Structures are given as C-alpha cells and as structure tokens.
Structure 1
Amino acid sequence: MIMKILAVCGFGVGSSMVLKMTLDKVVRELGVDATVENTDISSAKATLADVYFTSFELKPDLEASTDKPIYAIKRYMNKDEVEAAMNDYLATRKDA
C-alpha cells in the first residue's frame, strides 16, 4: 500500500512546497513507496494521510484534528533533519 505524506504550512504554497521537495528526496533515497503532497493547514485537517510534517507552530493545531503521527520540522531544506523524522516514523509504523 502506498503511504500518503502531507507537508503542511499556513497557506499551502511556499514553505510546504520546500518541505515537500525535501520529503520527496528523502522518500526516494530511502526507497519508501509514498506520495508526498503539500497543502495548507485547513485542508490538512480535512485530509487523511499516514503522516504529517509541519512546523512547530502548526503542530498543535493539527494534533487536534488527527490521531496520525505529526512531525514538526525546524529547517525544511535540511535533508538530515527530515530524514531523521521519517526514519523515526518508519520505525514506529505498525505495518512495517
């Protein structure tokens, strides 16, 4: 089954696109079968995904609307930070 990953920012345009590009690179390098989409916070709350990546500021808002894992990323272009969060998620998945 293909994993669905959401990169979330306030308006779904700038920073979530940067985070999506970094997530795309990490997913490809790790060989994870996933789709990565970027979106705004309002849409993210209404969209089912396996895991969400966002900012520390938006994480509490997302937590109120989903029981899925949410990872706060400080530096969206830092592949090592994003990869560490992805590896943490992959290690905790029940169907892995």
Structure 2
Amino acid sequence: MKFLAVCGFGVGSSMVLKMTIEKVCRARNINCEVQNTDLTSVKGMEADAVFTSPEIAMDLKQTLKCPVFGIKKYMDQKEVEQAINQFLENQ
C-alpha cells in the first residue's frame, strides 16, 4: 500500500503529516510506504491514497483517481487514523 502526504512545496508540513501517517500505520500493523511530495508532483504519481490539507484536497479530488483525505491537524494521530480507517473500510 502506498500513501502520499502532500503540501504546497512538499517539504515542511507534508513531512510532519508523513511522520504521523507512519506512526498510525505502525501502531495498527499496516504495511505501507509513505512519501511526502508537493502539489505539482503528486498529479503524476501513483498512490493508493493521498493525505493533505482540506484546501488542497478539494483540488486534488477532481484530478486524482485515488481517494484524497483532507487533514486539518497534521500531528493529530486520531484524525489521521480516522482517515486511514475510512480508506480501509472502502477497500
């Protein structure tokens, strides 16, 4: 399974979100690869799901084929876990 954490430049906040996704996945024993990337690059990448800010999520939902989840608080493990649970339920 491959997840992408996305922010405008692919450096700061996407790295924080990536680390939170990894923590949640480790705690749940979910085997996945998590990458952080920028808004432009994500459109040419393959992933099972994308996690980003709610504002960017609205744009990406129209252009990507995979599920896109808007996360308000990147360090909130419960919010990220809810999004991952939603993804897993729809698989």
The question of 1:44 aligning with 2:42 is answered yes
Q: Which whole-Å CA distance do the structure 2 matches of 1:68 and 1:25 have between them?
A: 22
Q: What percentage of aligned pairs have identical amino acids?
A: 52
Give the residue type in structure 2 aligned to 1:56. P
Instruction: Provide structure 1 residue ranges, at least 5 long, that are not aligned to the other structure.
Output: none
Alignment equivalent of 2:72, drawn from 49, 54, 74? 74
The CA deviation string for residues 15-39 of structure 1, in whole angstroms up to 9 with x for no partner, is 0000000000001111111000000
Q: What are the equivalent positions in structure 2 for 1:1-96 lying under 5 Å apart?
A: 3-93=1-91
Q: Which whole-Å CA distance do the structure 1 matches of 2:70 and 2:36 have between them?
A: 14
Q: Please give the root-mean-square deviation of Cα atoms over the aligned residues, in Å.
A: 0.7
The CA deviation string for residues 34-67 of structure 1, in whole angstroms up to 9 with x for no partner, is 0000000101111010000000110122122212
| Secondary structure of 1:61 counterpart | helix
* Higher share of residues assigned helix: 2
Give the residue type in structure 1 aligned to 2:44. A
Q: Which whole-Å CA distance do the structure 2 matches of 1:25 and 1:60 have between them?
A: 25
Instruction: Provide structure 2 residue ranges, at least 5 long, that are not aligned to the other structure.
Output: none
What is the aligned length?
A: 91
Q: Which whole-Å CA distance do the structure 2 matches of 1:60 and 1:45 have between them?
A: 14
TM-score (structure 2 length as normaliser): 0.96
